[in-house]
Amino acid sequence: MRRVTQDLLLGGVFSALGCWFAYALLLSTGAAKAPVAPPRAAEPTWPALAEGPPKVASYVIEAKLDSERHRVTGRETIHFVNRSNSALNELWFHLYLNAFKNDKTLFLRSPFGAGRSGDKAKEYGYVDVKKLIVRGGDGQDLWAARDRHSPNDPDDETDIRVPLSSPLEPGAELSLELEFEDQLPELIERTGFVGSYHFVGQWFPKLARLEPNGTFSHFSFHAQSEFYADFGDYDVTLDVPSGFTIGASGSRVREEHEKGRTRLGYRAENVHDFAWTAWDRFEARSERIAGVDVRVLYPPHHERNAEAELASVRFALPHFNARYGAYPYPTLTLVHPPESAANSGGMEYPQLITTGGPWYSTLGGGHFIDVVTTHELGHQWFYGLLASNEHAEPFLDEGFNSYAEAEALEARYGNASVYGAFGLSVSSTALNRLFSAARGEDEKIAQGAADFATFRSLGALVYSRTATVLATVARVFGRERFNHALGVYTRKFRFQHPTKADFLNVMQSELDGRAVTALTLAFSERATVDYLVREISNAPLSAPAGVFDGPGGREQKKAEAPHDAAEYTSRVVVYRHGTLQLPVEIELRFEDGTKQLRHWDGTGFTFNVDNVGPSKLASVQVDPEQRILLDDDRSNNWLSTQGNSAPRSRERALYAAQVLLGAFGP
């Protein structure tokens, strides 16, 4: 999900625009750079892509929507394979619609409205499981023996243990038959109804992910957490009133019309979730892009948004294919919710993403539609195909995807990737830096979603700071090398549920030890860095004066007048605060207009830059190309000598503008 969607986009694009204008007017650095060349096509050095995942849990679901009462009645068969190395005596089900059952659930009980939207429920929702039997078994209803609530939480029913009547050995398979009924809530977070619009996510009884050691990674639905599940195939038949348009994960494979109802069958293979929407006012556009059938569903009068979304996919789908391995599915559905249901926007599901924004989102130079579309599309790789544990390590999805989003948008728009008009530009990278600057010591990036103090803290660290860490490593150690390394990771671990350790192992082999150390410290140790300059000294360099005893006897040499000096010796001291040791460039500017660049490997706490030359040192700038986006305070990276205050203040103002915008550099 795009975090700033809630803050800036769907919450009111005009207020956001005001915000961008303020930045832009204050901080203009001129016209945007031209877009860089698209990434190279796949190279022979890429790891081979897996054809498909090990399938653990596959679902056949028949669901019928009562659009008046906002209920979904379902029958479900789960084909489950014990791919772990242990016999199983129990199953864990996620009943995440129960997060909206009442105000005492884990999700809703915070008095502050702790979720992404901060919303409280208006009309509640829940899922009732009517029956659970093993096909071909003794007909016993396993649901009767379930635990009644989530572990150690009598008020929550989102994480439910069901004992098996006999152990399921490694390699053994099981078909489970369930009946369930959903009451959808009035739209809260991403799920529910508004009028006749329905967005149906986290809606069916779903197995938690089975780990190789035979434990289930199960967790109650927490307001700060997203999801984690096994791969499988989904065959879902949706029965809705005639006149409703459906959008769903997967490809449409069946269609029937009968007695005022429409029944559409969808098939999604090698995925780990299934979501859908039904509304009687959707308009639709379809287009084949990079071999994928792309369909956009949008409200009336949103044609410009639909076109902008397709344009984003036209650019970003081939871009991501080249960067992270080809999108393997035949279809992709984009859903632009009506403004009354904005909270279902900005979200990712397999083969289906939701965008959002008012009808005027494309006006005025802001790329808001491109930002949200590119972000959610990127999730098809970082959430969909990698499928890391978003509860335990959310930064592996949202943070990496925020980097991918910024990289793709900047490839398309240069530094004007979020806003560009009137010669002013704001980039995603600059915003990520802005949102996360000076928050590096608040909490660890690499921790569970529920462990963050607030969702705002999670947003700053998991989304923005993670993206800033990756962008810093890319700029310091080489963008081509880093992007290639990230592409190796996304290909090698496709369908594999990778962890932080898997990522770092790839970085170790593709980059080097210093990069891995920086990534490890930044993710796990709250490491920060701040380079600063404290003093500049210039002294005339003249022949030594004094009394000298030499072979020819004693000699007295007089000091020359300083203004006669032909050379000056200059020194500047650069300090490194924080524990991140990143190599950095230091630019020296002399009074005669010449410049020099010095390199510091970033080890040690201080670095003396000495120079002997014909001109005095006038100013110094650490990291002139702003590669170290993590630098906590850029205002102390620049210093000039005393005595030229007017030019200095102009120079400083320009520098401050560039720093705050952060939208220039390599």
Q: How far is the CB of 226 from Zn ion (least distance, A)?
A: 8
Strands (DSSP E) contained in 290-387 are: 292-298, 331-335, 347-349, 352-354
Q: How far is the CB of 406 from Zn ion (least distance, A)?
A: 12
CB closer to Zn ion out of 471 and 533:
471
d(CA 398, CA 390): 9
Tokens of 295: 């369909």
Q: How far is the CB of 394 from Zn ion (least distance, A)?
A: 10
Tokens of 626: 């702003």
Q: How far is the CB of 56 from Zn ion (least distance, A)?
A: 25
Q: What sign results for the dihedral spanned by CA atoms 484, 427, 654, 642?
A: negative
Is 347 an interacting residue with respect to Zn ion (CB under 5 A)? no
55 to 94, contacts with Zn ion by CB under 5 A? Answer: none
Q: How far is the CB of 1 from Zn ion (least distance, A)?
A: 4
Tokens of 204: 């069916």
CB 184 within 8 A of CB 70: yes
Is 1 an interacting residue with respect to Zn ion (CB under 5 A)? yes
Q: How far is the CB of 259 from Zn ion (least distance, A)?
A: 41
Tokens of 46: 């890429």
# residues contacting Zn ion (CB under 5 A):
2
631-636 contacts, C-beta under 8 A, 24 or more apart: 631/529, 631/530, 631/531, 632/437, 632/438, 632/440, 632/528, 632/529, 632/530, 632/577, 632/578, 633/438, 633/530, 633/532, 634/659, 634/662, 635/659, 636/530, 636/531, 636/532, 636/533
CB closer to Zn ion out of 1 and 476:
1
Transcribe 605-665 into DSSP letters.
Answer: SEEEEEEEESS-EEEEEESTT---TTBS-GGGSEEE-TT-HHHHHHHHHHHHHHHHH----
d(CA 191, CA 182): 12
Site string for Zn ion, 263-302 (x = CB under 5 A): ----------------------------------------
Q: How far is the CB of 468 from Zn ion (least distance, A)?
A: 16
CB closer to Zn ion out of 70 and 272:
272
CB closer to Zn ion out of 159 and 398:
398
CB proximity list for 192: less than 8 A, separation 6 or greater: 70, 100, 123, 125, 184, 185, 186, 198, 199, 344
Q: How far is the CB of 239 from Zn ion (least distance, A)?
A: 31
d(CA 430, CA 427): 5
Q: Which residue is nearest to Zn ion (CB)?
A: 1
Helix (H, G, I), strand (E, B) or coil at 592: coil
Q: How far is the CB of 118 from Zn ion (least distance, A)?
A: 17
Tokens of 170: 């490694």
Q: How far is the CB of 401 from Zn ion (least distance, A)?
A: 5
Q: Angle, to 10 degrees, between the axis of helix 13-27 and the axis of helix 645-661?
A: 150
Q: How far is the CB of 346 from Zn ion (least distance, A)?
A: 7
CB closer to Zn ion out of 186 and 398:
398
Is 8 an interacting residue with respect to Zn ion (CB under 5 A)? no
- Stretches 1-9, 45-53, 56-64, 166-174: which one binds Zn ion (CB under 5 A)? 1-9
Site string for Zn ion, 182-201 (x = CB under 5 A): --------------------
Report the chain's C-alpha Rg in angstroms.
29
CB closer to Zn ion out of 239 and 393:
393
CB closer to Zn ion out of 80 and 463:
463
d(CA 115, CA 189): 7
CB closer to Zn ion out of 371 and 618:
371
CB proximity list for 19: less than 8 A, separation 6 or greater: 8
CB closer to Zn ion out of 428 and 538:
428
Q: How far is the CB of 2 from Zn ion (least distance, A)?
A: 5
Please name which of 393, 1, 401 lies closest in space to residue 201, comparing C-alpha atoms.
1
CB closer to Zn ion out of 1 and 511:
1
CB closer to Zn ion out of 226 and 632:
226
Cα dist. 471→407, 413, 518, 619, 628 in Å? 9, 17, 12, 27, 8
Site string for Zn ion, 563-602 (x = CB under 5 A): ----------------------------------------
Q: What sign results for the dihedral spanned by CA atoms 134, 140, 141, 146?
A: negative
d(CA 390, CA 228): 6
Q: How far is the CB of 125 from Zn ion (least distance, A)?
A: 23
Transcribe 339-366 into DSSP letters.
Answer: GGGGGG-SEEETTEEE----TTTTGGGB
Q: How far is the CB of 382 from Zn ion (least distance, A)?
A: 8
CB closer to Zn ion out of 333 and 658:
333
354 to 413, contacts with Zn ion by CB under 5 A? Answer: 398
CB closer to Zn ion out of 84 and 464:
464
* Beta pairing class for 206-207 and 88-94: antiparallel
CB closer to Zn ion out of 371 and 582:
371
d(CA 535, CA 528): 23
CB closer to Zn ion out of 194 and 404:
404
Q: Which residues bind Zn ion (CB under 5 A)?
A: 1, 398
